[in-house]
Amino acid sequence: MNKPVSDALNRNLALAGKYLARFADGVVPHNIGGEKVSGAATFEDNSPVDNSRLAVVAAGGRAEIDRAARAAAEAFKAWRDVTGERRQEILHDIADRIEARAEEIAIVESVDTGQPIRYMSKAAIRGAENFRFFADRAPGARDGLSLPTDTHINYTLRQPIGPVGVITPWNTPFMLSTWKIAPALAAGCTVVHKPAEWSPLSAVLLTEIMQEAIVAAGLPAGVVNLVQGLGEDAGKSLTEHPDIKAIGFVGESSTGSLIMAQGAPTLKRVHFELGGKNPVIVFGDADLDRALDAALFMIYSLNGERCTSSSRALIQRSIYDDFVARAAERVKKIVVGHPLDPKTEIGPLIHPRHVEKVLSYAEAARKDGAKVAVGGTQWPGAGANYVAPTLFTDATTKMRIAQEEIFGPVLTAIPFEDEADALRIANDVRYGLTAYIWTKDVGRAHRVAEAVDAGMVWVNSENVRHLPTPFGGVKASGIGRDGGDYSFDFYMETKNIAIAYDRHKIPTIGT
């Protein structure tokens, strides 16, 4: 017999008490080469559930980043020389250790981010998968090409670029951090990680777990280092440090611009995964049930705080009224609640400042002449960070709700007339991360997929990741790709070596 849901919530609350207790006392320190370091500066990390304090966290600046970068540079000498096969074993060991602490990671992540436990229960598993995937690629990471001519054998090999900085955002931080750090380690790079200040706790667990496996293998803990702090202090210092050769960044487009400028004096290599305003384009011939399921899932799961969310529903006029009416009925039924309740589909948003931003779009929608069909308000009877799932309808492409990344459980529905109109609207934004196309017409699917401004396109599907495929955006949504071998292109330098045959005639001078 199934247990009542309230029992499950109570059980998870008890687990939260157990797993978060370690963060409640004193200051959560940085982890630099395995040493717990904290200075005078701190910041508060609060629970999205009620904005109560979860932890006081050490806020790093130039000094802590310098120490961490030097630890990573020192450890690089040992880590880059570890064979690919050995790195493979160590990364699998990290994955084992993540899986062993999956419950703890899920609970900490859910409370710290407000993300529903139904999704966060998979956070550790997805993180472990990232490590296993790149573990198995580590032995081949150096692989290159053979490019012979009549006179020379040219061959390429790849070498790790050096210590790298990884800067992550507050939405699903555990999964995103593993997605960046696992390939860096597989490539032979060492890492300084700066997590987001609104949800820093799961990074503490991840660093601890990675260091345990690394030290158990007889290697220095400084292969991975964690410095918490504010973007303008710790983050900025990391991007400016001369020992840090590259920055893997996930966050807002405007922060990407800052990082590019900050990294310019040291010629930093950058990889950016930025914002999105992704269209789900539903043509009149689509399988409407499946399209509706996918469109709603891609915007209302993960609290809508998701870069790949389908935040603009572009619906062909012939099916628009029906689609929107059905969507509205479904949106009204979404379960909003405590993130640790397995029943909850939408939890509290990350921070009061973010809530204010998300809610401000209801006013913008009305002012611009769109309709607030569902929501647009706080969720009644819950804490300050709970926002009602929201559906804006009858929008046009120039409205703010159709142009700006809202990053909450908010869908903007826009009607279109035909294929050309759909493409015009789809591409009429500064972003270009993902696009979702729904049609039974294969020719049209190809045409639209090719012409839409997006780094990733799914046809008749929600976002389903296959780890070898490239992940990244165009326009203001990013620079570069990761996934599979693309990640190694970023974290490694390609060297060409040319060896001459005897028959090569060397030109003479001065004879």
Q: Which residues bind ligand NAD (CB under 6 A)?
A: 167-171, 176, 194, 196-197, 231-232, 235-236, 239, 250-252, 255, 258-259, 262, 273-276, 307, 405, 407, 433, 473, 478
What's the closest the beta carbon of residue 173 comes to ligand NAD, in angstroms?
9
Shortest distance, CB of residue 39 to ligand NAD, whole angstroms? 17
Question: Judged by CB, which is closer to ligand NAD: 189, or 234?
Answer: 234
Q: Which of 459, 461, 460, 485 is nearest to 471 (CA)?
A: 485
| CB distance 359 to 388 below 8 Å | no
Q: ∠342-347-352 over CA atoms, to 5°? A: 155
User: Smallest distance, Å, CB 239 to ligand NAD?
Assistant: 5
Q: How far is CA 240 from CA 16, 84, 188, 498, in A?
A: 37, 30, 22, 35
Residue tagged active-site, from 197, 307, 404, 462: 307
Which among 68, 194, 64, 202 has a CA at the least distance from the CA of 124?
Answer: 202
The sign one gets for the Cα dihedral 413, 429, 416, 472 is negative
Active site residue 329: no
For residue 127, give the H/E element and its range: helix 123-137
Supply the minimum distance, in Å, between the C-beta of residue 459 and ligand NAD.
20
Cβ at position 364, least distance to ligand NAD in Å: 18
Which residue, among 486, 498, 411, 500, has the nearest Cα to 456 in the 3D structure?
486
Please provide the size of the chain in residues: 511
Integer Cα distance of 398 and 411 in angstroms: 15
Using alpha carbons only, give the angle 241, 244, 250 rounded to the nearest 5 degrees: 100
- Whether 189 sits among the annotated catalytic residues: the reply is no
- Helices 173-187 & 102-113, crossing angle to 10 degrees? 130
Cβ proximity to ligand NAD, 431 vs 438, nearer residue: 431
Minimum CB distance to ligand NAD smaller for 131 or for 198: 198
Question: Would you say 142 or 277 has its CB closer to ligand NAD?
Answer: 277
Residue 182 CA, chain-centre distance (Å), reads 13
Q: How far is the CB of 300 from ligand NAD (least distance, A)?
A: 16
Number of H helices, E strands in the chain: 17, 22
8 A C-beta contact, residue 218 and residue 463 = no
Q: Among 129, 240, 273, 345, which one carries the catalytic annotation?
A: 273
Which residues are tagged catalytic?
Answer: 273, 307
